[in-house]
Amino acid sequence: MNSESSNHTTPPLTHEQFMRLFLRAEREILRYVMALVPNVSNARDVVQETAVALWMAIDKYDQTKPFIPRACRFALNEARLYLRTEFRRRRQWFDEDVARFA
């Protein structure tokens, strides 16, 4: 039996199971995100987006593998998205300020 067929033999996590896993991992995920997004409020927003992304992909989660590394990969993607958006917003603001004073 290959890993793909064994992946489908376990039922997907229930909402309760997911919440238990996520809540146990949340502090570590936040620490990880804080290394990427140093503002606590923004980091917490990234963790919330990570939770949503994890939940949306819960049917693809292989329960035989650890949850935290998967959650941190999702958090990295969410942090990148946040930082890209923030960079564009700040660049646009800076460009508008420069144009105003030119």
The domain spans of the chain are 3-101
pTM for the model stands at 0.78
Burial class for 6, CB neighbours closer than 10 Å (0-12, 13-18, 19+)? exposed
- What is the spatial distance between Cα 3 and Cα 84, in angstroms, rounded to a whole number? 35
Closest CA to 72 of 41, 42, 19, 35: 35
pLDDT of residue 12: 86
Mean pLDDT of 70-92: 92
Type of residue numbered 80: R
Indicate if the pLDDT at residue 81 is higher than 50: yes
Q: Are 37 and 46 in contact (CB under 8 A)?
A: yes
In this structure, whether the domain defined by 3-101 belongs to CATH 1.10.1740.10 is answered with: yes
Does residue 67 or residue 7 have the better pLDDT? 67
User: Would you state the structure tokens that stand for residue 27, as one six-digit string?
Assistant: 């502090």
Beta strand segments in the chain, E: none
Indicate if the pLDDT at residue 35 is higher than 90: yes
pLDDT of residue 91: 72
